[in-house]
Amino acid sequence: MMSAAHADPHETSSLSKERVKVGVIGGGAWGTALAIHASARHETVVYARETDVVEAINDPAVRENTTFLKGHKVPEGLRATGSMAEAVEHAEVILMVVPTQFVARTMTDLAKLLKPNQIVVSCTKGISVDSLETVNQILTRVLPEALHSRLAYLSGPSFAAEVAKGIPTAVTIASKEDEVAARVQDLLSTNRFRCYRTTDVQGVELGGALKNVLAIGCGISDGLGFGCNGRAALITRGLSEMTRLAVALGAHPLTMQGLAGMGDLVLTCTGDLSRNRTVGVRLGMGENLKDIIDSMKAVAEGVLTSQSAHQLAKKLGVSAPIMDGIYRVIHEGADARNIVSEVMCRPLTAEVDPSILQAAARPA
């Protein structure tokens, strides 16, 4: 018998044993990690538009995504395909894992293949730069109304490489229909991947998107050598800004204290695997943004989301000086040291915004 220390990292000895079919749309690092996770319990097919990704995953001599998730072998039961139709055929749950800027196009194509009984779970974190829509708003715009009640959203502190390794992880599943959230929660939870649930879709969406902006800010701070004090201040006051903006858009403030808010924020701002933090560190050390982006295979969502956050805060009249400063450093070439001085020397205020206290009194 294997000891606990040598147990299969993807063992599913606890929780439900029900087996269904799962389709994953998107063969990047996160899509591949979720496909590896899902295949421990379910028959899983991952769709990737990159031919080399499909071939490497299916090749018995390779069996890994050598382009986006190198070093993580995929289970024998996991298949990859270049056909979106093949990935979603007969699937009860479809995990949508594509960058925000491609969601509308991808889901417009996918809508022609979906059946009313299928559940679509968005695993994308971002806000459209052009329309300022969250992914939920994009999906409800491009998908038929009959599918709106079958939408769910997965977010929380979850680096792709660690999920692929089977390292214990906790996430949140959001859906406006609690029954749908509970169904996804049941199907995706294992003894290494615990799902909680909520009906606050807006809060979960905004937490997952805005934390990427603040992670770039923390990276810039670290790159400048501002230390642990500076990082802690950025995380804490950044969470306050996230909460103000989310509440202004209809979210409940308690959601920002959970896995999709504070949990993901802490992970992304402090973890060395964070793409967004890495972008910030390199900016803080004096590198050019274009050179940084060109050198990365994966997308750092926070670069684009910083524009969306800046526009939303301005549109809603929400005070977000930290996110505004990060936007100015990324897109206007502002000196980060000057931004820090500006933020630190603003008029002194109470720590908790009265609007947050009022919103917290509402039922969660």
Taken in order 311, 314, 315, 319, the sign of the CA dihedral is positive
Task: Name, in order, each residue with C-beta under 8 angstroms of 136's C-beta and a sequence gap of 6 or more.
Answer: 122, 151, 153, 201, 202, 205
Query: For the stretch 50-70, what's the b/e string if a residue is b when 16 or more beta carbons lie within 10 angstroms of its beta carbon?
Result: eeebbebbeeeeebbbbbbbe
**Residue pair 9/71 in contact by the 8 Å Cβ criterion:** no
Task: Name, in order, each residue with C-beta under 8 angstroms of 349's C-beta and a sequence gap of 6 or more.
Answer: none
211 an active-site residue? yes
The label of the residue with tokens 């750092």 reads 300
**Residue pair 227/125 in contact by the 8 Å Cβ criterion:** no
Dist. CA 307–CA 61, nearest whole Å: 43
14 CB neighbour count, 10 Å cutoff: 11
Dist. CA 346–CA 328, nearest whole Å: 17
**Residue pair 67/297 in contact by the 8 Å Cβ criterion:** yes
3-state SS track over 44-58:
EEEECCCHHHHHHHH
Angle between helices 336-344 and 201-224 (to 10 degrees): 120
Distance of CA 320 to the CA centre of its chain: 21
Dist. CA 279–CA 285, nearest whole Å: 10
Distance of CA 208 to the CA centre of its chain: 5
Q: Could you please report the per-residue DSSP string of 239-260?
A: HHHHHHHHHHTT--GGGGGSII
Dist. CA 215–CA 217, nearest whole Å: 5
**Active-site residue among 70, 115, 211, 297?**
211
- So which residues are the catalytic ones? 211
